[in-house]
A and B are shown apart, each in its own frame.
Chain A
Amino acid sequence: MAEQYSSFQSGTTLWFLQRVTAAVLVVTLMFHFFWLHFVNHAAEITFQGTAYRMDQLGYLVTILLFLFTAAFHGVNGVYNALINQGLTGTPKQVLKWVLVVGGVVLVIQGIRVAATMAGGPV
């Protein structure tokens, strides 16, 4: 139990950020669903339509915020689920970094896609 008396209280910060991102996601996720299934329809999506939406700065910023918060919330959620299951020691450290890398890759790819849709450089 007296494992890590480190002053970097990682448990606290991650827990808090999970809640903060949750609050942001409630709004952005519901907006995204609403906009892309009720206002526009998924079956009618074309690149032009997407580019039109992504061209608007407010929309683009919202989508990017959505991407960052969702990636963090999801990856941190998986990490917590695994610790709750009893993951410890080396497998835990390995999985932690796999998740971090996975999350970073997701965000970078997401930014590339968004940039392309908004008519910017790849």
Chain B
Amino acid sequence: MSTETPDTETSEVASPQTRRLKAKAARKAEREAASEGEIEGETVELKIFRYDPEIADKQEPRFDTFYVPRFEGMTVLDALMDARDRYDTTLTFRHSCRQAVCGSDALFVNGSQRLGCKTQIADLQEPVQIEPLPHRPVVKDLVVDMEHFYDQMRSVEPFFDPDDLPPADQQQHQTPENREKVKTSTRCIWCGACMSSCNIAAGDNQYLGPAAINKAYRFYFDEREGEQRQKERLEIIEQEHGVWRCQTQFSCTEVCPKDIPLTEHIQELKREAVKNNLKFW
């Protein structure tokens, strides 16, 4: 998680991370001010999307309401697990690490794409409405079919591919500056929140999507790969349904739980493609 901590206590560099941390500090202060002397409500009201093609009752999607006991620091994932364990073991959702590194529990909470394990109940207005990610087919309850997302990711060849490996007794060096450049792009946990928030990805099925383009960015700008490889990577993303479909809606940057400046990365690749094209004129 060391790529997440800002360099200084109060960093003034504008980035999605500083923006999010500032908003978080403000919300915390508001919460503390509002709850002075108050007795915290004992339960949280959850409205959860239910769908199950194999159960007659749930073939038409519906919302179920649960009341779960609240505790300090409770996350959406905590609430979901309590609802499942206490009331309805058929409530189905993906989750694994509980610490925002596996990317399993991206959900649509109160109208935004968020990671369940990283979203504080205290920050949300009740009733907390939890739905599966938009623009993905729903398999059951909060579980969506992620195959299309994985297809797009795979199509940019998301693996490190240097021309040669160094001799056995040496290491493959990367300068600190180069590492710094690709640092934010390496954080992607493949949660799918960004693609789900993009209106173009929703309309155009062939659009690579912010996550895939960011992956391409991560390798394109890695100095340890060769020039030919770089050219090949550029060719993949500069097709009609690659970077050009991005309309700078910025929703991806806003919802990314790892604070990756996705739109910025896509823009940089657009500029790279134009620069490369102009060379031939």
Residues of A within 8 A of B (CB): 1-5, 9-16, 83-86, 88
Given A11-B240, A12-B274, A16-B277, A5 and B205 contact (CB-CB distance below 8 Å): no
Chain B facing A: main interface SS: helix
Is B155 within 8 A of A12, CB to CB?
no
Is B238 within 8 A of A12, CB to CB?
yes
Given contacts A1-B155, A84-B245, 10 further A-B contacts (CB under 8 A): A1-B206, A3-B206, A3-B239, A4-B240, A9-B235, A10-B240, A11-B242, A14-B244, A15-B244, A83-B240
Is B203 within 8 A of A85, CB to CB?
yes
Complex interface: chain A residues within 8 A of B245 (CB): 83-84
Indicate with 1 or 0, residue by residue over B233-271, a CB within 8 angstroms of chain A CB atoms: 001001111111101000000000000000000000010
- Selected contact of A12 from candidates B152, B247, B273, CB within 8 Å: B273
Could you jot down 27 A-B contacts, CB within 8 Å?
Answer: A1-B151, A1-B152, A1-B208, A1-B241, A5-B235, A9-B235, A9-B239, A9-B273, A11-B239, A11-B242, A11-B243, A12-B244, A12-B273, A12-B277, A13-B277, A14-B244, A15-B244, A16-B274, A16-B277, A83-B204, A83-B240, A83-B241, A83-B245, A84-B199, A84-B200, A84-B245, A85-B204
Kindly identify, within residues 16 to 57 of chain B, every residue whose CB is under 8 Å from any CB belonging to chain A.
none
Given A1-B155, A12-B273, A15-B270, A86 and B238 contact (CB-CB distance below 8 Å): no
Is B277 within 8 A of A84, CB to CB?
no
Complex interface: chain B residues within 8 A of A88 (CB): 205-206
Complex interface: chain A residues within 8 A of B151 (CB): 1
Is B238 within 8 A of A11, CB to CB?
yes
Interface size for B (C-beta < 8 A) is 24
Is A84 within 8 A of B203, CB to CB?
yes
Q: Please, how many angstroms separate the alpha-carbon atoms of A84 and B200 in the complex?
A: 6
Complex interface: chain A residues within 8 A of B200 (CB): 84
Kindly identify, within residues 151 to 196 of chain B, every residue whose CB is under 8 Å from any CB belonging to chain A.
151-152, 155
Given A1-B241, A15-B244, A84-B245, A9 and B277 contact (CB-CB distance below 8 Å): yes
Q: Taking the nearest CB of chain A, how far is it from the CB of B186, in angstroms? A: 23
Is A86 within 8 A of B204, CB to CB?
yes
**A18 (CB) vs chain B CBs: closest residue:** B244
Kindly identify, within residues 189 to 228 of chain B, every residue whose CB is under 8 Å from any CB belonging to chain A.
199-200, 203-206, 208
Is A86 within 8 A of B205, CB to CB?
yes
Q: Please, how many angstroms separate the alpha-carbon atoms of A4 and B235 in the complex?
A: 10
Q: Taking the nearest CB of chain B, how far is it from the CB of A4, in angstroms? A: 7
Q: Please, how many angstroms separate the alpha-carbon atoms of A9 and B280 in the complex?
A: 12
**A7 (CB) vs chain B CBs: closest residue:** B235
Q: Please, how many angstroms separate the alpha-carbon atoms of A46 and B190 in the complex?
A: 63
Q: Please, how many angstroms separate the alpha-carbon atoms of A38 and B244 in the complex?
A: 38
Q: Taking the nearest CB of chain A, how far is it from the CB of B177, in angstroms? A: 28
Q: Taking the nearest CB of chain B, how far is it from the CB of A57, in angstroms? A: 29
Q: Please, how many angstroms separate the alpha-carbon atoms of A25 and B270 in the complex?
A: 22
**B247 (CB) vs chain A CBs: closest residue:** A84
Q: Closest 9 interchain pairs by CB? A: A11-B244, A1-B155, A11-B240, A86-B203, A12-B277, A85-B203, A12-B273, A86-B204, A15-B244
